[in-house]
Amino acid sequence: MKLLFCKGNDLESNIIKFITKSEYTHVGLYFTESPFLEPMVYEAVDTYGVHSIPASSYASFNGEVWLADISPQPDMSQLLKNINWSLKAPYSWAEAMVISIRLFTKIRIPYHVMRTQYICSEFVATKLEECGLKIAPWPQLVSVDELSKSPFIKKWTRLY
């Protein structure tokens, strides 16, 4: 399992870069379950919520796509079970706004996080934490940039 990070070039990505002061605009969980199956990405996006797509879908992405190895690896069977429980959970615009305000103003806003809605970075951090890998200090309100700076990331490889 790896983390998939994107550096998008479209309008939405440029807004994310401006607010977060980060080069990364999206993150997902990248799985290669078998050498005979195509790798899959589990992610939370505004149009579909939590879903899975073939990693090859990113070949036409407007920007760069990177893979980050993490160590230690989480318990894969537990991680996949936790992800499956979250499939089709809606995207959380409220949490995206709270994170944006925190990053832009440096003010920490008290906010009750709904574990039934996700943004991309929160989905990744929460699912890893549920398997015992606390990759972020506050996984429910973490940004893509904060995940990209995790000490658990050991190696970066460009995918597309």
Beta bridge partners of 27: 5
What is the value of pTM for the model shown?
0.85
Tokens of 113: 């996080």
Which pLDDT score is estimated for 114?
54
Sheet containing 2-8, strands listed edge to edge, beginning at the edge strand earlier in sequence = 49-54, 40-45, 26-31, 2-8, 63-70, 153-158
Domain assignment of residue 95, given as a range: 2-158
DSSP states of 66-105? EEEEESSPP-HHHHHHHHHHHTTPPB-HHHHHHHHHHHHH
pLDDT tens per residue, range 81-118 = 989 888 888 887 666 666 666 666 655 555 555 567 78
Q: How many domains does the chain have?
A: 1
**CATH number of the domain where residue 9 is located:** 3.90.1720.10
Give, as one character, the DSSP assignment of residue 63.
Answer: E
pLDDT tens per residue, range 49-69 = 899 999 999 999 999 999 999
Amino acid at residue number 84: N
pLDDT tens per residue, range 10-52 = 998 998 888 777 899 999 999 987 888 899 999 999 888 899 9
Which pLDDT score is estimated for 93?
66
Among 104, 29, 93, smallest CA distance to 67 is for 29
